[in-house]
Structure 1
Amino acid sequence: MTHKKYRAFFAWEHEREEKWLDTQSDKGLQLIRGGGISYVFEEGTPGEYAYKILLLDELPTHSKSRDFLRFLEETGVEVVGSYMRWVYLRRRRAEGPFEIYSDVDSKILHLKKIRTLLLGLLPLEAAAFLGNAGIGLHGSPGNFLLSLLLGFILVMIITHSLQITGKLKDLAQERVIHE
């Protein structure tokens, strides 16, 4: 039997989303299709799979991405969904710990990709907020609420970009220690 669930995560919350997917697995719900805010689960053995989400350099249909995903499949990883450049992966827990990024440099690269995505959205979000803020303060309550929402998202993007920068500094220090 399948179950469809809806849940929203921001781009910088991929680790939180992975934990949620692992929790669903522990309950016996295994992701069979995911992407964006929609998730389709199939009933199965509790704890059978571990999940990872990663941001590709290109769309999953790009030849470079297809080659990389094929390589992962050869190691026992299944692709169970995608949303834009994000892909949802799973692997049986019986095969051991599931790590996509086993070294510091690959973790740094992944976080830099996410931060670049956020910083790319920052000017668009700021323009939307500033463009609507003038209307929102003098217009209808709906516009005011939209201004608040846009402002909240803008603050979240800035905050999480800074948090990712902090993580990157920590990983850079870890790299120096391991060298």
Structure 2
Amino acid sequence: MKYIVRKAFYNFEKEEKYLNDMSAKGLAFTDYSWCRYVFEDAPAGKYIYRLELLENPVTHPESMNYIKFMEESGVEVVSYYMRWVYFRKLAADGPFDIYTDLDSKIVHYTRIKSLFSALWLANVVTFFTNLIVGISEYRTNLLFAGLSLVAAVGLYLFVLKPVNEKLRKLRSEKNIRE
């Protein structure tokens, strides 16, 4: 049977945990589109799921080569959304970790930080643009300025700040090991 769950995540680790928890309950993740997860019945714990933000779009040759490499390693691409790829592997095949060393984790979190920093900057620019236009000409732009400010603050507090903290811890751990 097919189940559709509408849910939003701003933290890929929590999203990954959610998918693995659903797998443990006997629901295999089969498709994703914006805030929409599709599951089907499966033996409990059949799959282990991992998410990755690729450096390039999925259709880019480098990304396609990487995905092909993952598939040759026994990993299946379940779905993708923009540059995010949802991977799964049979739990019976053993542990499944994409990032096994600190350097690759740091690179991945840096990619995430770059993506959300660009979104944050776009919201800040939109805020100031709407604020200036709202004060001088169109009062309705003040509403959009407020929405952009809320989005920028939300991105900072719920995405960028935790990612920065994670990067700081990973770099600190790397320095200790060296």
Q: Distance in 2 between matches of 1:147 and 1:22?
A: 39
Q: TM-score, normalised by structure 2?
A: 0.87
Alpha-carbon distance, 1:161 to partner? 1.7
Alpha-carbon distance, 1:177 to partner? 2.3
Worse-matched range after superposition: 16-25 or 89-98: 89-98
Q: Distance in 1 between matches of 2:130 and 2:44?
A: 47
Q: 1:46/1:154 Cα in 2 relative to 1: closer, same or farther (>3 Å)?
A: same
Residue 162 of structure 1 pairs with residue 161 of structure 2: yes
Contact 1:28 1:45 (8 Å CA) reproduced: yes
120, 124, 136: which one aligns with 1:122? 120
Residue 8 of structure 2 corresponds to which residue in structure 1? 8
Q: Distance in 1 between matches of 2:130 and 2:103?
A: 40
Alpha-carbon distance, 1:86 to partner? 0.5
Worse-matched range after superposition: 77-86 or 151-160: 151-160
Aligned ranges for residues 30-179 of structure 1 at < 5 Å? Answer: 30-132=28-130, 135=134, 139=139, 144=143, 148-159=146-157, 160-179=159-178
Secondary structure in 2 matching 1:80: strand
Residue type of the partner of 1:168? L
Q: TM-score, normalised by structure 1?
A: 0.86
Alpha-carbon distance, 1:4 to partner? 1.7
Counting aligned pairs with the same residue, the percent is 37
Q: 1:149/1:26 Cα in 2 relative to 1: closer, same or farther (>3 Å)?
A: farther
Aligned-CA RMSD value: 2.2
Residue type of the partner of 1:163? P
Q: Distance in 1 between matches of 2:96 and 2:150?
A: 34
Q: 1:150/1:32 Cα in 2 relative to 1: closer, same or farther (>3 Å)?
A: same
Contact 1:26 1:46 (8 Å CA) reproduced: yes
Which runs of 5 or more residues in structure 1 are unaligned?
none
Alpha-carbon distance, 1:170 to partner? 1.2
Contact 1:35 1:88 (8 Å CA) reproduced: no
Worse-matched range after superposition: 17-26 or 147-156: 147-156
Q: Distance in 2 between matches of 1:39 and 1:163?
A: 24
Question: CA offsets per residue over residues 139-168 of structure 1, 9 Å max, x none?
Answer: 57xx74x55543332112222323222211
Secondary structure in 2 matching 1:47: coil
Which runs of 5 or more residues in structure 2 are unaligned?
none
Pairs aligned (count): 174
Question: CA offsets per residue over residues 7-34 of structure 1, 9 Å max, x none?
Answer: 1122xx1001111111111121101112
Worse-matched range after superposition: 60-69 or 146-155: 146-155
Worse-matched range after superposition: 29-38 or 98-107: 29-38
Alpha-carbon distance, 1:52 to partner? 0.9
